Structure 1
Amino acid sequence: MLVEIAIEQFALIDRVRLQFGPGLNVLTGETGAGKSIILDALAASLGGRTPADVVRAGEERAVIEAVLDLSGQPDRVRAALDLGIDIAEDGLLVIHREVARQGRGRILLNGRSVTGAMLRQVGEGAADLHGQHEHQSLLQPHRHLELLDQYGGMLLRSQGHALEVLDRYGGDPLLALRERVAEVHARLQALRAERASLAGDARERARRLDLLHYQKEELDRARLRPGEEEEVEAELRVLAAAGRLRAAAEEAYALLYEGTRGQESAADLLGRVLGLVDEMARTDPAAGAARELLEAASVHVREASRFLADYRERVEDDPARQAALERRLEELAALRRKYGNTVEEMLRYREEVAAEIERLGAAEARAARLDQEIAALGREAEELASRLSEARREAAAALSAQVAREVADLGMPHARFEVAVEPPARRSWEEVGPRGWDRVEFLFSPNPGEPLRPLAKIVSGGEMSRIMLALKVILARVDGVPTLVFDEVDTGLSGRTAQAVAEKLARIAQSRQVLCVTHLPQVAAMADVHFAIRKETDGDRTVTRVERLDEEGRVQEIARMIGGAEVTRLTLENARELIRSAAAWRQALGRGNTSDLAGR
């Protein structure tokens, strides 16, 4: 339930705070006063996408703070806890959202910073907001299937429905079945696309195979090895410098072991040093530490000498080998231009070529297997679509009966409403789409003797409002949303029908919190909490003000709604009588009996 909402610098609102109660909360005021702006702010607080231009002119950011009571809503509490948001024992969730004119906004849930997606995860299902634009959605047949599936999924779940195919997929039965239909349809599309590719021109496939075989053979002849190019380049560097390397090794060996031009070698010098250290150690044993180091150095010198002697023998000019390596580099460079920048890339390309050769070579066998898979999956698609139609027809019958009862309560006792579920004339898997194969349309007959026809062809604005209200009431019974929000759902209604709408909203408000923007005095008279919205001029700025009305304030506001701008003694008397009648009707409703009020 929505406890309160505080709004600052949002559109025409500079600063307002509304404290809602259980039951029917009504917002009234002149057209353009800002009633719907409050609902826009509520939608933003629950995660609705909000453009930066909602920030009041001259301000840098708008702030919305809403308090929800999640008591008795374990799904909402669980969603918050899953995001690491603590919910106290009182069950309150404080939503703080800032919308910045420039830059990023900020969202806090009970003081913890969250993203917009996280806010929507928690706010989803907390309130059902119904605006005037939704009337138009009833004129679009593609929306009818969505509404039926939404209703059918909730209805079957609430009834513990056990159709075998529905049980098999678990969760929300009808919607889970529809998801499976979408999965099968997507798989069928993929298989059919692959099958179509195999059915291409045979000559083109043969030409492609010739090219692939040539490329594979060329790469195989090259006998590529990972890292080969680096090895060849390193060997070429050695061959190019063979003479210089051999001379350096010769000189280094002489300096270490043979000596040059009358100079002693490093090995001889180390021997002399060892003799001196031995003489020192005979007098001072501490000098023995140096002997260990010198002996180790002597060993390393001998090993280095042997390496250099071997190296000078191994390094030699080899023009033939050098030429062969240069040719290999040229071969690798030519292959790089065609198959990849590195040997590793060329080897990967070779594997891709081999795989494509195998696939094209086995095209006929693969085509036969695909035909079998498509046939099996097609049979499953037909079964699923048929089961989905069955579930939809069951839901459609229930929805048709319920809408008819609801619109009868709303002043159309002879109206007929039917949800038509039409499968295709040819029930083949080729007719199955991602939502099954049904065409769904709402049909309506407002008067006796008139045939059922599509809504778009016969429904007036007032009739549309009543049908949408009936649908919302029905969906509310099965979806468990604690707060229903109606933005001028009574558009185009008057007289006894307006009274029927007021009574319907009052009935809903017995078990749900209802927020309603209205121009009907009959609806306002039923309110448990009544807010008046005013647009005022403060200096050179226009601002929206909100006042929670006491009893006398309600009389004045409803009198204004009855008589327009001029409030007279007669309109005041009418307002008081309307409030008294509403109170008596609600009292009888609380006792479960409104028959004694018929004709009032």
Structure 2
Amino acid sequence: MLTELSIRDFAIIDEVSITFKEGLTVLTGETGAGKSIIIDAIHLLSGGRGSVEFVRHGMKKAEIEGLFTVDASHPVFKRGEQFGVEIGEDGMVVLQRTITHQGKSICRVNGKLVTLGILKEFGQTLIDIHSQHETQSLMDPDRHIELLDLFASRDLTISMEEYQSVFEKYQMLKRRHKELSENEQEMAQRLDLLEFQLNELQESELVPNEDDELTDERSKLLNYEKIYQGIHDAYNSLYGEQKGLDWLSHAMTSLESASDFDNQLAKMTEELTNSYYLIEEMTFQLSSQMAELEFDPERLNQIEARLNELNRLKKKYGQSVESMLEYASRIEEEIDEIKNKDSHLHRLEQQINELGQDAVLEAKNIHDIRESVSKTLSSYIQDELKDLYLEKAAFAVDIQKREGGQADPLFEGNHVRLQKSGFDLVKFLITTNPGEPLKEIHKVASGGELSRIMLALKRIFSRHQGVTSVIFDEVDTGVSGRVAQAIAEKIYGISKGSQVLCISHLPQVAAMADTHIRIEKHVNDDRTSTLAKELSHEEKADEISRMITGAELTDTTLEHAKELLTLASRHKS
């Protein structure tokens, strides 16, 4: 659940800190008081799109911080492992977002700097925000398949992964086939370019690791004097009268004569003797290396010229000789493909057909799962709609196969068009009037009906998604009376499985709240600020009374508010 939310210098909010509790929390207040601004802040915490307009006027940055607590089985732990964010055994996750007055976003998860994309991954695991805009997704048939798959996610996961793995390879081959088969002029130009590049690389006679070896050799030539002086001084320190080896020989002779009288010195004598001969051998090597060492300015010029040539080629073909050789190998294969285009196209077509059929088989598994779960989803939605006073409505999920062209793979004798989600075309159908046929939902459902259908979906999905907090932003607009009461009961029902935060103008929803927070707007020193206050039971009745009348309190509306609270309490129990 979202335990604590801290907002600073955000829109009209100066500074506010809100402690949230389990169950249903309802936020109410006058229009423009800042209720939706708080939801906007939570939306930004979940990776929503930011804007410099969110920074309070005259301030350098807006800061939002949310503390979430989760149990050990929550999927956010997998996100932590995936992105290297440590989540302790206490299950606390802190999301932070800062937006500067220059429009830059700084994101953190448990103190670790992350990208906006990673913040979004965590946020979507913890928060599900439902607004009036989201209800409009029901008007878009292309979104219906996403909603169905969300319901079927547990059954679909493995099949979808297997399908997409094959589908990506299938798409890659189709793109390659298209590149080879289309636009002869571009292919001819591509061939000329590749042949020029390959010829340039072959003429350069690249040798593996030569750039590293030449760099080492150049370093030796450039530092010839230092190297020679070092070897010369080392040799002269060891070899010659009264030098290192001479003294070692004297020590070895002395110790050897003493060992005749002390057996323990025999081992030391042997070790010193071995060391003497090792150092003597090293002096011979130093002498030999000093004799061979010479400064060759012509060789240095050759190395510099070759390294310059290699650096020129690196700018075009790779960061190392190895990567340039690999590139030469790749373009050699591509040249062969272009020159022998027909045979390669034929081979690609065979591979595309084989992979297409494999993809169709995987898509068939997905289709069967969708067919199965769609019946369950339809039944659940039907039950939920009855509770929302759409008892005469009929709901169904229509799943068709996307019709493909001649180049697309065959399924049951017909060509089907494969997409990332399979070959299914999913549409939600509904009728709200008995005797009328089922039609696409966006063609027949009113705004109030769409709100109730989406609420039914949320009620169902809340059992499957495992999100920590579900947020409703004025989803009850356009309803009243017994429908408003039914919506209040549905929202409360969702709060049994997940924490729910709800902005509402309905007194029925406010009465159902476990925690009621009033958002107030104040003006001090010509600056507007927003405050959040948790209401007591008595204050709750006053606020609901104001929501009923929209004006001053009366004894009648106050009694009505108290009655709503009593009915809500009875429903909860």
TM-score by length of structure 1 reads: 0.68
1:419-568 aligned within 5 A: 419-424=397-402, 427=411, 428=414, 431-568=417-554
Deviation at 1:521, TM superposition (A): 0.6
What does residue 164 of structure 2 align with? 179
Deviation at 1:60, TM superposition (A): 1.5
* 3-state SS in 1 of match to 2:75: helix
* 3-state SS in 1 of match to 2:94: strand
Q: Which protein has the larger Cα radius of gyration, Structure 1 or Structure 2? A: 1
Q: 1:83 to 1:188 in 2, by over 3 A?
A: closer
1:185/1:432 contact within 8 Å kept: no
What does residue 129 of structure 1 align with? 129
For residues 91-146 of structure 1, what are the alpha-carbon distances to aligned partners after superposition, in whole Å with 9 as ceiling and x for unaligned?
Answer: 33333432211374544444444443443343331111111111111101111112
Distance in 1 between residues matched to 2:80 and 2:199, nearest whole Å: 62
Distance in 1 between residues matched to 2:175 and 2:540, nearest whole Å: 64
Deviation at 1:472, TM superposition (A): 1.2
1:96-175 aligned within 5 A: 96-102=96-102, 104-154=104-154, 156=155, 172-175=157-160
1:195-594 aligned within 5 A: 196-197=181-182, 355=333, 358-424=336-402, 427=411, 428=414, 431-587=417-573
Distance in 2 between residues matched to 1:214 and 1:66, nearest whole Å: 58
Q: Which runs of 5+ in 1 are unaligned?
A: 158-171, 228-298, 308-335, 588-600
Deviation at 1:412, TM superposition (A): 0.8
Q: 1:379 to 1:549 in 2, by over 3 A?
A: same
1:404/1:417 contact within 8 Å kept: yes
* 3-state SS in 2 of match to 1:484: strand
Deviation at 1:200, TM superposition (A): 5.6
2:62/2:98 contact within 8 Å kept: yes
Deviation at 1:216, TM superposition (A): 12
Q: 1:488 to 1:226 in 2, by over 3 A?
A: closer
For residues 41-98 of structure 1, what are the alpha-carbon distances to aligned partners after superposition, in whole Å with 9 as ceiling and x for unaligned?
Answer: 1122233332121011121122222221123444324534665555455433333432
Q: 1:393 to 1:355 in 2, by over 3 A?
A: closer
Distance in 2 between residues matched to 1:178 and 1:562, nearest whole Å: 54
2:398 maps to amino acid:
A
2:139 maps to amino acid:
L
Q: 1:367 to 1:107 in 2, by over 3 A?
A: closer
2:170/2:352 contact within 8 Å kept: no
1:129/1:484 contact within 8 Å kept: yes
Deviation at 1:184, TM superposition (A): 4.5
Deviation at 1:173, TM superposition (A): 2.9
1:33/1:533 contact within 8 Å kept: yes
Deviation at 1:500, TM superposition (A): 0.6
Q: 1:12 to 1:369 in 2, by over 3 A?
A: same
What does residue 329 of structure 1 align with? none
Distance in 2 between residues matched to 1:361 and 1:114, nearest whole Å: 47
Distance in 2 between residues matched to 1:35 and 1:374, nearest whole Å: 54
Q: 1:464 to 1:90 in 2, by over 3 A?
A: same
Q: 1:378 to 1:86 in 2, by over 3 A?
A: closer
1:490/1:518 contact within 8 Å kept: yes
RMSD: 3.8
For residues 145-195 of structure 1, what are the alpha-carbon distances to aligned partners after superposition, in whole Å with 9 as ceiling and x for unaligned?
Answer: 1211222223x26xxxxxxxxxxxxxx235325523632441342253156
For residues 499-534 of structure 1, what are the alpha-carbon distances to aligned partners after superposition, in whole Å with 9 as ceiling and x for unaligned?
Answer: 111111122212221111111111110100001112
1:193 maps to amino acid:
K
Q: Does residue 25 of structure 2 align to residue 25 of structure 1?
A: yes
1:499/1:523 contact within 8 Å kept: yes
Q: 1:115 to 1:371 in 2, by over 3 A?
A: closer
Q: Which runs of 5+ in 2 are unaligned?
A: 208-286, 295-312, 405-410
1:186/1:434 contact within 8 Å kept: no
Distance in 1 between residues matched to 2:355 and 2:3, nearest whole Å: 52
2:160/2:366 contact within 8 Å kept: no
Distance in 2 between residues matched to 1:349 and 1:65, nearest whole Å: 48
What does residue 321 of structure 1 align with? none
1:224/1:347 contact within 8 Å kept: no
168, 177, 194: which one pairs with 1:192?
177
1:175 maps to amino acid:
M
Moved more, 513-522 or 83-92: 83-92
% identical aligned pairs: 39
Moved more, 516-525 or 93-102: 93-102
TM-score by length of structure 2 reads: 0.71
1:431 maps to amino acid:
R
For residues 15-53 of structure 1, what are the alpha-carbon distances to aligned partners after superposition, in whole Å with 9 as ceiling and x for unaligned?
Answer: 222111111100011222211111111122233332121
Distance in 1 between residues matched to 2:536 and 2:454, nearest whole Å: 31
Deviation at 1:349, TM superposition (A): 11
* 3-state SS in 2 of match to 1:565: coil
For residues 213-266 of structure 1, what are the alpha-carbon distances to aligned partners after superposition, in whole Å with 9 as ceiling and x for unaligned?
Answer: 99899999x987569xxxxxxxxxxxxxxxxxxxxxxxxxxxxxxxxxxxxxxx
Deviation at 1:569, TM superposition (A): 0.8
1:184/1:381 contact within 8 Å kept: no
